[in-house]
Amino acid sequence: MKFCNHTFEPAKLDCRTWMNYFRISKIIHILSFTKIRIQHLSDLKKNERSFNEYSMRHDVSGSPLEYSFGNCEFDDTVVITRQNWQKEEESYLPLNRMDASNAVNICLEHLDTNTLPILALCDGKDPKQSKLIGIIVSQDWFTTLEAVSTGTTNLTTIRNKSHTVVQEHLKHPFTQEHNIKISMFSALDLFGIKQEMIDWDKTSKSDFKGSINIEMHSSSLDSRPSKIALVSQINAEWKDSLLKELRDQLFLLSQYLSTIDECKKNVGLQNSIIFTTSNSEEHEIVNEKLNLLLNGDFNFRKSNNSNVKESNHINKENFEIDAKLRERVQNIFLRHDVDFTDLLWEILIILKEIIEHKFTPQINDTNLTRFVKCISNLHHQETISHLLVGSVPLELVVDMGFEKLIRDYSYILRGARFIDLHDIRQKLNNISSGIFNTESYRNKLIMLAQIHICLECMLLIEAHLECPIENLQSLFAYAYKEFVSEQSPLQHYPDLCSRIFTFTVPLPNALANELNKMNPSVWRASVLSHSAASMLTTTTYYNKLPIFPTNVYSTDNVDVQEEIVYDISTISSSEKYKKL
């Protein structure tokens, strides 16, 4: 399409960012020039060639820390930038007000407008400082929209203005005080950045810590909102999660079950299935740990718990009840029912010989080690050899692993008093008897993964929202109902680490009252006047962060202060029409 001697293409944009605050459909036609149109193809090739030539002359690769200190290991610090727009939105360049109006009119003639809004970004250089104009055609209504910038203000102004939005609305023609509707919204960013705002091309998923936001809604100017919800995004794959060891063991059990299935499919083959795992140690180290365990020496576990402070001095009885969730997770090795199979599982998860079936172990009643003493069905009258062949060794390892993880999760849940453990045990009923069935174990694996994401959610909330254990228990009940059910968003084990889950829950009153006193990160007030044939909506929107990308909304001269907020006002007018 052409106008003013320029060529442009309307882009269909899946907009989940700043457009949400204007209460517009998430899918829109956005009109603008794009950065790629500014450069000719020859310029791009020239720049690429110049960069390649420079790279050949100068070695700009590698870490400066490694260059200075040699081949040492350093932890990378990843800083995720907080912003209100997606990376691709930075490619849209605003139009001047006149060109934007012409572009909208041309699109109105050529596009099917019954489904998608048509919006144009403006540069704000007109007297009104317009940032956005557009039209929305839906059913029998034709709506025009304009958003203008009033620059920056402070939080004091917001508090005062919240009581004047109705008076400002009534200044417009044909508005009546008795026929208006009010909608108030505010949001508080407690922690992190929402996944929609992250440039995933530059950010590893394992670096995403999650996010917590509080959303407050009201249908009046009353300072007390009628609805307050906590919205958290949980990433079980976060590299520094306190539950990462349990997560890795869940993943390992899933691999083991697949190996058992492969082994049974290829039972006639001489060579067993090759299985590789990152949890590997040298054969000598594994044997040393086994010898220590079989002789009652548990020193092999000390290195794994070196980060736990004063672990030997904690009173187990008090710790069962008094510890915070974070502390219980860190000190999970203190649970009172740790037994031989738990400890053996910790060793066997890295024992390649059992995984790859390179040997056939034999157990005789003449063997006096502690392992034999734990075998309850040995007869003392005669020698019996138990040949463990095929997939049986790995099945025993898997069974021990499941029991160990069930006890670990139960220990965490019991101490925090999150749920009746009888319910957990009912759902994770004993599957150790009868024929080994991988599907039965997989079903239990999914439930353990569902419990895992609930605990990840509670750890995130506990770390960044000061609340008593009673409130945490209430929040967990909602999480458990959502995630540990037939309608759970986590239906397959791989989803645990492949997805970021969103958990929305009403806040307990005590927490809501405290959070309502804090300054919001986002504040929006909408006032609607309507009649049978027309509607007028005025919206005032504030945000602590710049609302549009910096190429649309310049922040060069902004004095960065905690109290400064950015302001946008929107007017939308709707008229009923009849299709010809």
Domain ranges of the chain: 87-235+520-555+564-576, 243-267+274-299+320-499
Residue closest to 99 by CA, chosen among 39, 32, 144 = 32
Which residues lie closer than 8 Å to 53 by C-beta, 6 or more apart? none
Where are the extended beta strands (E) located within 155-218?
180-191, 211-218
Which pairs with CB-CB distance under 8 Å and at least 24 residues apart come from 548-554?
548/18, 548/84, 548/85, 548/121, 548/131, 549/83, 549/85, 549/89, 549/90, 549/92, 550/90, 551/90, 551/92, 551/93, 551/94, 552/92, 552/94, 552/121, 552/123, 552/124, 552/131, 553/124, 553/131, 553/149
Cβ atoms of residues 103 and 111 within 8 Å: no
Q: Which tokens hold the place of 415? A: 């101490």
Between CA 454 and CA 388 the distance in angstroms is 38
Give pTM, 2 decimals.
0.73
% of the chain surpassing 70 pLDDT:
60
Supply 435's token pair: 């024929």
Residue type, 27: I
Model confidence band, residue 247 (pLDDT cutoffs 50, 70, 90): very high
Q: What pLDDT is attached to residue 153?
A: 78
Name the percent of the chain in helix, strand, coil, to the closest 5. 40, 20, 40
What pLDDT was estimated at residue 113? Answer: 53
Q: Is the pLDDT of residue 15 over 80?
A: no
Token pair, residue 26, equals: 């998430």
CA angle 357, 360, 365 (to 5 degrees): 140
Kindly give the pairing relationship between strand 180-191 and strand 11-14.
Answer: unpaired
- By residue count, the chain amounts to 580
Angstrom distances, CA of residue 186 to CA of 23, 364, 519, 577: 13, 70, 9, 34
- Report the alpha-carbon angle 14-19-24, nearest 5: 90
Give the Å distances, CA to CA, from 494 to 232, 244, 252, 405, 449: 21, 15, 12, 17, 9
* Cα–Cα distance for residue pair 109/115, rounded to 1 Å: 14
Whole-angstrom distance, CA of residue 374 vs CA of residue 358: 24
Residue 268 pLDDT grade (very low, low, confident, very high; cuts 50, 70, 90): low
Q: What is the mean pLDDT of the chain?
A: 72
Tell me the per-residue pLDDT of 301-356, one tens digit each, with 9 for 90 and over: 654 444 444 434 344 444 444 457 888 888 777 777 776 667 777 766 655 545 45
| HSE toward the beta carbon, residue 477, CA cutoff 13 A | 12
∠ CA 452-454-456, rounded to 5°: 70
Of 85-99, 271-285, 309-323, where does the model show the most confidence? 85-99
Angle at alpha carbon of residue 449, lines to 76 and 427, rounded to 5°: 160
> What's the pLDDT at 391?
74
**Could you tell me which residue, 514 or 190, shows the higher pLDDT?**
190
pLDDT at residue 234, rounded to an integer: 95
Burial class, 566, CB count within 10 angstroms (exposed 0-12 / middle 13-18 / buried 19+): buried
Residue 23, pLDDT > 60, answer no
Nearest to 285 by CA among 350, 365, 196: 350
Mean pLDDT of 59-67: 45
Q: How many CA atoms lie within 13 A of 413 on its CB side?
A: 23
Q: If you write DSSP's letter for every residue of 56-83 in order, what string do you get?
A: HHS---S-HHHHHH-S---PPPP-PPP-
Give the mean model confidence (pLDDT) for residues 529-549: 84
Q: Retrieve residue 169's tokens.
A: 């609305």
pLDDT at 403: 84
The token pair at 371 is: 């392992």
Give the span between the Cα atoms of 300 and 288, in whole angstroms.
9
Q: Give 21's DSSP letter.
A: G
Q: Is the dihedral of CA 531, 537, 538, 540 positive or negative?
A: positive
Q: How far apart are CA 302 and CA 289, in angstroms?
A: 12
Identify which has the larger pLDDT, 345 or 196: 196
